[in-house]
Structure 1
Amino acid sequence: MKQKLSITVEKKLISKIEAKLKQGLFRNKSHVIEYAIQEFLRNGKI
């Protein structure tokens, strides 16, 4: 079950996220963020 999360990020980062969306790599912004968090945790960068 998914839970809602609110974040604040720099405009520059939003532009990069939107560029990935335009490439068709992700369904929406939430998908981009979820993927990034999973990769971050998987690679042991915490």
Structure 2
Amino acid sequence: MELISFFSTIFISCVIISMTIFSVYIGFGPSSSKLRDPFEEHED
């Protein structure tokens, strides 16, 4: 039972870390210049 909980903890941790790294890459990577800022578009 300990082995299953250990591997599931490692798996969930890897998924969370990879989603975080992917989000940072999308936000600040080379394709970030194509993203639009809705707050700048509706500034008064």
Q: Flag the structure with higher helix content.
A: 2
Task: Please tell me the TM-score bracket, short chain as reference.
Answer: 0.3 to 0.5
Please tell me whether Structure 1 or Structure 2 has the larger radius of gyration of its CA atoms. Answer: 2
TM-score (normalizing by structure 1):
0.37
Structure with higher RCO (Cα < 8 A, 6+ apart): 1
